Amino acid sequence: MLWRRLKPTALALIVPLLLLAFWQVATTNQWTLLIPTPYQVGEYMVDFAVGGIYDDAYSGTLLTHLLASMSRVYGGFALAALFALPIGLLIGRLPVARMLLDPFLQIMRPIPVTAWLPLSMILFGLGAKSAFALVCLGAFYPILLNTIFGVRAVDPKLFEAASMLGCRGNAQFYKVVLPAAVPSIFTGLRLGLGLAWFVIVVGEMTGVPQGLGAVIMDGRTLSRTELVICGMIVIGVAGYISDRVVVAIGNRLLRWSPNHHG
C-alpha cells in the first residue's frame, strides 16, 4: 500500500540521484577542475538564497533575480498570448487570413530566438524591453500553431448539430468553435509558457542587470561555475512548478475532456 503511493516519487528520483552521484564522483576524483562539487553548489545555493556564508554581490539575491525573471517570463508570455490567440483564430477560420499570413509565419518560425538577439537589441534597446520581446517571440509560435490546429480540427458533425438546434452563422464561432478549440489552445499556452522559461537566458543576454539569465551570464564572464549551476537549477525548478500550476488549472478547466489529464 505504502509502496504503491511512494512508487512514482521513488522512480522519479532515480535518474537525478544517479546524476548527482556521477557528479560527486567526477568532481572528487578531479576529472575536471572547472566544475564545483555538488556540496559546494548546495552551499552556494543557500548563500544565494538567504546569504550569510560568502556575502558577496550575489548573496541573498535569489528572490530578486527570480522575480525579475518571472516578470519577464509571464509578461512576455502574456504578450505572446495576446498576439497569437487572435491571429491563430483568424488563420484557423478565415481562408484569406491563412493565405495572407501563413506563408510568412512559416518562414519566420524556424529562426531561433538567439538569432533575433542582435536585431532585438537594435530595435528595443539594451534592457528589459528587449528581454520581453525575445521571450514573447519564443512563446508565440506554439500558442499560434495550437490555436490554428484547435479551431480547424472541430468535428464537422458539431456544426451540423448546432445548426439543426437553431445556432447558425457567427453564433457558431462562440458556441462551437471556441469551446471545441479550448483543449488545443490550452496545450499551446502550456507549451508557450514552457518555452518562455526556456528562452529566458537568451532574453536576459540583452544587458539587464537582474534576472536568472543575467546571473548565469555574469557567472560565465566571472568563471563562477557554481553561480551558473545555481541559476540553472532555479530556472528548472521554477519552470517545473509553473508548469504544474498550469496543468492543475487545465485539469479543472477541462474536466469535460477525456484526454486532458496531465
Partner 1 sequence: MAESPIIEIKDVSKIFKLQDQTITALSGANLSIAKGEFICLIGASGCGKSTLLRIMAGFEKPSSGEALMWGKPIGGPDPSRGMVFQDYALFPWLSVRDNIAFGPIARGLSGGEVRATVDKFIDLVGLQKFATAYPHQLSGGMKQRVAIARVLANDAELVLMDEPFGALDAMTRERLQDELLEIWERTKLTVVFVTHSVEEAIFLAGRVVVMTPGPGRIESDNALELARPRDVASPEFNDIRRVLGAKLHSHHSKVASAPAAA
Q: Which residue ranges make up the site for partner 1 (CB under 8 A)?
A: 155, 157-158, 160-168, 171, 175-176, 179-180, 182, 255-258
Q: How far is the CB of 103 from partner 1 (least distance, A)?
A: 25
Q: Over 169-202, what HEC string results?
A: CCHHHHHHHHHHHHHHHHHHHHHHHHHHHHCHHH
Q: How far is the CB of 164 from partner 1 (least distance, A)?
A: 4
Task: Output 8 or 258, the one with its CB closest to partner 1.
Answer: 258
Task: Output 16 or 258, the one with its CB closest to partner 1.
Answer: 258
CA dist., res. 139 & res. 202, Å (int): 13
Q: What angle do CA 129, 74, 261 make, to 5 degrees?
A: 155
Task: Output 45 or 182, the one with its CB closest to partner 1.
Answer: 182
Q: How far is the CB of 57 from partner 1 (least distance, A)?
A: 52
Task: Output 55 or 160, the one with its CB closest to partner 1.
Answer: 160
Each residue of 23-57: b (16+ CB within 10 Å) or e? beeebeeeeeeebbebeebeebbbbbbeeeeeeee
Q: How far is the CB of 259 from partner 1 (least distance, A)?
A: 9
Q: Which of 148, 130, 6 is nearest to 76 (CA)?
A: 130
CA dist., res. 160 & res. 150, Å (int): 18
CA dist., res. 184 & res. 84, Å (int): 13
Q: How far is the CB of 155 from partner 1 (least distance, A)?
A: 7
Task: Output 53 or 161, the one with its CB closest to partner 1.
Answer: 161
Task: Output 35 or 162, the one with its CB closest to partner 1.
Answer: 162
35: helix, coil or strand?
coil
Q: How far is the CB of 261 from partner 1 (least distance, A)?
A: 11
Task: For residue 56, give the amino acid letter.
Answer: D
